Amino acid sequence: ENSATDSKNLKVKLVLLGDSGVGKSCIVLRFVRGQFDPTSKVTVGASFLSQTLALEDSTTVKFEIWDTAGQERYAALAPLYYRGAGAAVVVYDITSAESFSKAQYWVKELQKHGSQDMVMALVGNKADLHEKRTVSSQDAQEYAERNSMFFVETSAKTADNINQLFEEIAKRLP
């Protein structure tokens, strides 16, 4: 749950979910350290990082980020990380239709078992690989709207829309 430490300083538990290899860890690394690692290793279990974002109105939001492992063998651990989360980022790779199907699985899972007031984002990552795109922006946008999520395409490689993703989440927190 989101808890206000005072009126201007919020804290939120955020979970990233999605298929292995879609770029969850790279999104977090880009947001927290401003870096990109082309040799990023698969995540084992989950990893935790935190980052504080200052908004224009001088509110600060501390994100406590759980970056989950996308490999199938870790799927049963996911509830440990999304339980009590105030925000969820469901990631797919715009060059992989299979990863978009997997994202829809995670959205259903969150709708069934997540908190009612969870802020949910659908993220199409690897937008820099547009020449290999197999998931259309319009299909993803429509899916997101039907499921009361906001949608953005990002690139952890070029940093495109990474800060905007977290800013949009911050603005939507209850």
Instruction: Find which of Mg ion, ligand GTP, none residue 148 binds, CB within 5 to 8 Å per kind.
Output: none
Among 10, 13, 22, 25, interactor with Mg ion by CB under 5 A: 25
Query: Positive or negative, the Cα torsion across 159, 127, 81, 142?
Result: positive
Looking at beta carbons only, is 129 or 173 nearer to ligand GTP? 129
43 binds Mg ion (CB under 5 A): yes
How far apart are the C-alpha atoms of 23 and 20, rounded to whole Å? 8
What is the footprint of ligand GTP within residues 58-87 (CB under 6 A)?
Answer: 69-71
Q: What are phi and psi of 138, to 5 degrees?
A: -65, -45
Instruction: Find which of ligand GTP, Mg ion, none residue 157 binds, CB within 5 to 8 Å per kind.
Output: ligand GTP
Among 15, 144, 156, 170, interactor with ligand GTP by CB under 6 A: 156
125 binds Mg ion (CB under 5 A): no
Q: How far is the CB of 95 from ligand GTP (least distance, A)?
A: 9
Binding site for ligand GTP (CB under 6 A): 18, 20-26, 38, 40, 42-43, 69-71, 125-126, 128-129, 155-157
